[in-house]
């Protein structure tokens, strides 16, 4: 934070055509929908390559787009880089200060390390005072095989982002989302897991019946989701590494809106049972023990847990229109209403620090993503679409990913929670993309 305050605000420069050209190869392409005026300029110099053939991967390009997507940083255009240093000693700070006007600079190089293995070193400098802020030490380079060079690049982005903002980077995380292809009533549905930026998309499930409401287990190893295979709704839990899946709820009526308790032992979910009353329950996965959490005749759904697992936030139309309520899991009989602004507040998701709820709200007749501050109850609108839905916080709380519509197609977009910088992840194909959910941090740090 303090680092950012030192810098002067500069007008945002759009990413160069070169960067876009490279990213067009990917399955999802980043599309900038709203610029960020206080972004800090950072020069991410193309990494050196000490091998003989062509460099196997453009590490700097991934770092630059990560930093840019955060909304906090504006990578310097490659054309403007008069120099291509690869180590700190090679940086001529005077020139970067006066001609390129960047506040920070990232340099590094990639080195072959035996067959199909690479080592990367990098350094981050404050251009204004020439101070080295972060980097690898000699003999302690980051290493990766060819397929994990992208992951290695995201790790470098994480280190740089944390150093400059004081907030842990979330560039090594993933997203899950659903796609629907084809014209109704014949559609094909897929559950996809990809890197947070849409790269490395993998199909987890592919079927001709709807898939809904994917939810990451707290350790990121499993997804719970709703599937309508067999023409009824059921909740499945699928282990990503093995593809093994278990049907955990297939009761009469609705089986929907699964949400994992923070300890991973229990799902909150929505059932309508035989009588059709749509209510929230908790389901202990090991014992199948079911506990009813809401008792109102209205629609009670979309539960999400507080960080300590003691409360559930949910959507209920008991007062006539969808609004957010809160209950104590231990004594759920009495619900407390949270939102009072506007005719529609739905699909709550708690920020990782527990201070705000991302919701779907109605704003001048449009459905948009809002952030409700739980203390002051003030509401900020984070998106500007017509039909935005399904917000999900990055595990560092700095961004939300949500579903939007671009020219009638479902697309995924991110918005900075503080910067409000928005980007759409644009698909190459025709499929509608929907219901993005951001994974937790990878385990083991």
Partner 1 sequence: MRVAQLMLIAMSGLALAACKSKPPTLPDASNQPEQQSGQSGATSDTSVGQGTGDANQVLLESAKQAGTIIYFDYDRAEIKPEFVAIVTAHAKYLNASANNKVRLEGHSDERGSREYNIGLGERRAQAVRRALMLQGVTEAQITTVSYGEERPAVQGSDEAAYAKNRRVELVYGR
- In the complex, the residues that contact partner 1 under the rule CB under 8 A are 180, 183-185, 187, 210, 212-213, 228, 231-233, 252-254, 256-257, 270, 272, 274, 276, 278, 299, 301-302, 315, 317, 322, 344, 346-347, 360, 367, 386-387, 389-390, 405, 408, 434-435
Contact criterion met (CB below 8 Å) for 277 and 292: no
Beta pairing partners, 381: 370
Cβ-based nearer residue to partner 1, 407 or 445: 407
| 3-class DSSP assignment, residue 99 | helix
CB of 183 to partner 1, least distance (A): 6
CB of 185 to partner 1, least distance (A): 4
Among residues 444, 445, 442, which one has the least CA distance to residue 173? Answer: 442
For residue 85, give Cα distances in angstroms to 43, 82, 160, 361, 386.
Answer: 11, 10, 18, 48, 46
Cβ-based nearer residue to partner 1, 69 or 368: 368
Angle subtended by helix axes 59-69 and 149-165, to nearest 10: 40
| 3-class DSSP assignment, residue 245 | strand
Contact criterion met (CB below 8 Å) for 74 and 65: no
Cβ-based nearer residue to partner 1, 91 or 254: 254
CB of 443 to partner 1, least distance (A): 28
CB of 322 to partner 1, least distance (A): 6
Cβ-based nearer residue to partner 1, 159 or 280: 280
Tokens describing residue 50: 């000490």
The CA distance from 147 to 142, in Å, is 14
Cβ-based nearer residue to partner 1, 81 or 204: 204
Cβ-based nearer residue to partner 1, 131 or 188: 188
CB of 255 to partner 1, least distance (A): 10
CB of 341 to partner 1, least distance (A): 16
Strands (E), 138-218: 142-145, 174-181, 188-195, 202-207, 211-216
């Amino acid at each position: 934070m303090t680092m950012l305050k030192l810098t002067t605000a500069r007008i945002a420069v759009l990413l160069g055509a070169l960067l876009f050209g490279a990213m067009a190869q990917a399955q999802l392409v980043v599309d900038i929908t709203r610029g960020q005026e206080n972004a800090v300029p950072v020069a991410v110099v193309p990494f050196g390559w000490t091998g003989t053939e062509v460099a196997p991967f453009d590490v700097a390009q991934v770092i630059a787009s990560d930093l840019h997507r955060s909304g906090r940083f504006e990578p310097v255009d490659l054309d403007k880089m008069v120099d291509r240093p690869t180590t700190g000693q090679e940086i001529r700070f005077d020139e970067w200060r006066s001609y390129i006007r960047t506040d920070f600079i990232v340099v590094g190089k990639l080195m072959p390390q035996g067959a199909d293995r690479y080592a990367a070193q990098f350094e981050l400098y404050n251009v204004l005072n020439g101070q080295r802020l972060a980097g690898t030490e000699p003999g302690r380079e980051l290493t990766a095989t060819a397929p994990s060079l992208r992951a290695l690049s995201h790790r470098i982005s994480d280190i740089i982002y944390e150093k400059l903002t004081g907030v842990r980077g979330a560039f090594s995380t993933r997203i899950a989302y659903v796609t629907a292809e084809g014209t109704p009533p014949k559609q094909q549905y897929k559950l996809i897991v990809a890197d947070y930026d849409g790269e490395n998309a993998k199909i987890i499930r592919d079927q001709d019946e709807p898939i809904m409401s994917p939810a990451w287990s707290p350790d990121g190893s499993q997804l719970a989701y709703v599937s309508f295979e067999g023409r009824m709704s059921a909740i499945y839990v699928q282990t990503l590494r093995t593809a093994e899946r278990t049907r955990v709820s297939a009761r009469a009526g609705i089986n929907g809106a699964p949400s994992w308790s923070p300890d991973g032992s229990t799902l909150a979910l929505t059932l309508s049972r035989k009588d059709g009353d749509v209510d929230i329950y908790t389901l202990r996965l090991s014992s199948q023990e079911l506990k009813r959490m809401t008792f109102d005749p209205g629609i009670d759904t979309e539960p999400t847990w507080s960080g300590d697992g003691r409360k559930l936030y949910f959507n209920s139309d008991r007062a006539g229109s969808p609004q957010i309520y809160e209950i104590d899991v231990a004594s759920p009989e009495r619900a407390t209403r949270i939102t009072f602004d506007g005719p529609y507040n739905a699909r709550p998701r708690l920020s990782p620090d527990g201070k705000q709820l991302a919701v779907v709200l109605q704003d001048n007749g449009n459905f948009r993503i809002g952030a409700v501050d739980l203390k002051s109850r003030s509401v900020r609108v984070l998106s500007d679409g017509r039909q935005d839905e399904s917000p999900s916080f990055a595990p560092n709380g700095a961004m939300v990913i949500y579903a939007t519509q671009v020219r009638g197609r479902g697309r995924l977009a991110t918005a900075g929670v503080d910067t409000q910088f928005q980007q759409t992840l644009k698909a190459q194909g025709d499929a509608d993309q929907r219901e993005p959910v951001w994974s937790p941090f990878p385990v083991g740090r």
